[in-house]
Amino acid sequence: MSDYGHYAFDAPHPPHRPWTAPTSSTSLTWILLTTVFGAYALFKALELAGFPIRSRVAQLVDMSVGVLPSSHASIDQSETEPAENTMRKASGLLGLIFGSHSQSLLHKGVTRFTNALSSGPSNVPPGLGNLSNSCYQNSVIQGLAALPSLRHYLATITAEHPSLTADSTNGALHELIDNLNDPANLGKHFWIPGKLKSMSTFTQQDAQEYFSKILDDMDNEVKKASSSKRRSSVSWLEATKSLTNAPGTSGTPGTQQHDDAKSG
């Protein structure tokens, strides 16, 4: 019995494991996340610069599929082909990406990105920047910017109601549409202001819903501004009437002096 207790308490403990594994795993995860976000930022920068990055990626995928065997039959066939044929395809793929000639993807991307940063005015009409899933918003805004009657309405309504500033839907839309139609802004990109961006929600991803939301907000703002202006006009009119009907203001001073002289 004592021997059992002795062995029970003196059982060997599992070996102590160092904590280097979680640290290395965390570092690897951080490196992967940094690489992914860096690649995404570069992808978006090239896309905003006008580089057809999506089509180039699709072309690379097609070429990669052409290099790699796609089935067991192709594996058997590739084993019979000369090794230099596969090497030629692989070198062509790498040359397309990192080649020093002017047709390489890297060379084209750097050139277009540099030209986009240093280019001056051009004959390209003003446009809207596209981020994430805002393409449906851009299509609605550009459609509204093509309506001269809407431009005239926004110019009139914002001049009539000073409360419709750039922080309102009417004011923000008026300013953005004016920028898109100004010939001095050729080659420039504009971004949808926060007032018009804030309309989008997680469930609202449809152009028709976005268009209806803009019209509803414009109408509600004009109604509110008109009601406030009407109340201020009524208040001013009531104040004027009260001053007119006050005691001692029924006649003019000249009339009162004439009446006093006549009675004397």
Q: Residue 160's domain spans which residues? A: 127-234
Q: Output the pLDDT for position 239.
A: 60
Give the mean model confidence (pLDDT) for residues 86-106.
55
Q: Which helix (H) or strand (E) holds 190?
A: strand 189-190
Whose tokens are 């690379």? That residue is 60
Q: Same domain for 146 and 203?
A: yes
CB 129 within 8 A of CB 49: no
CB 67 within 8 A of CB 90: yes
Q: Same domain for 103 and 199?
A: no
Q: Same domain for 60 and 155?
A: no
Q: Is residue 15 part of a domain?
A: no
Q: Same domain for 141 and 212?
A: yes
Q: Is residue 134 part of a domain?
A: yes
- Rounded Cα–Cα distance for residues 189 and 48 (Å): 10
Q: Is residue 145 part of a domain?
A: yes
| 254 pLDDT more than 50 | no
| 126 pLDDT more than 70 | yes
Q: Is residue 141 part of a domain?
A: yes
Q: Output the pLDDT for position 14.
A: 55
Both tokens of residue 225? 């501004």
Q: Is residue 1 part of a domain?
A: no
Neighbours of 81 (CB within 10 A): 10
Q: Same domain for 178 and 98?
A: no
Q: Same domain for 89 and 146?
A: no
Both tokens of residue 86? 């596969």
Q: Output the pLDDT for position 37.
A: 76
Q: Same domain for 106 and 139?
A: no
| 119 pLDDT more than 70 | no
Average pLDDT across the chain, whole number: 69
Q: Output the pLDDT for position 251.
A: 47
N-term to C-term CA, the chain: 140
Provide the number of structural domains found in the chain: 2
Q: What is the pLDDT of residues 178-232, one digit of tens each?
A: 999 998 988 888 888 888 876 655 554 688 888 889 999 999 999 998 887 777 6
- Give the residue with greater pLDDT, 161 vs 61: 161
At position 226, the amino acid (one-letter code) is S
Residue 84, helix vs strand vs coil? helix
Backbone angles phi, psi at 147, to 5 degrees: -105, 105
Q: Same domain for 136 and 101?
A: no
Q: Same domain for 133 and 91?
A: no
CB 164 within 8 A of CB 219: no
Sign of CA dihedral 41, 47, 49, 55: positive
Give the mean model confidence (pLDDT) for residues 115-122.
53
Q: Same domain for 171 and 108?
A: no
Least confident interval from 126-130, 168-172, 225-229, 231-235: 231-235
Q: Same domain for 107 and 195?
A: no
% of the chain at pLDDT higher than 70: 44
Q: Same domain for 52 and 147?
A: no
Q: Is residue 252 part of a domain?
A: no
The pTM (predicted TM-score) of the whole model is 0.45
Q: How far is CA 245 from CA 72, 145, 238, 249, in A?
A: 102, 52, 11, 7
- Rounded Cα–Cα distance for residues 102 and 112 (Å): 12
Q: Is residue 23 part of a domain?
A: no
Q: What is the pLDDT of residues 146-158, one digit of tens each?
A: 999 999 999 999 9
Residues with Cβ within 8 Å of 141's Cβ and at least 6 positions away in sequence, in order, are 128, 173, 176, 177, 180, 192, 196
- Residue count (the chain): 264
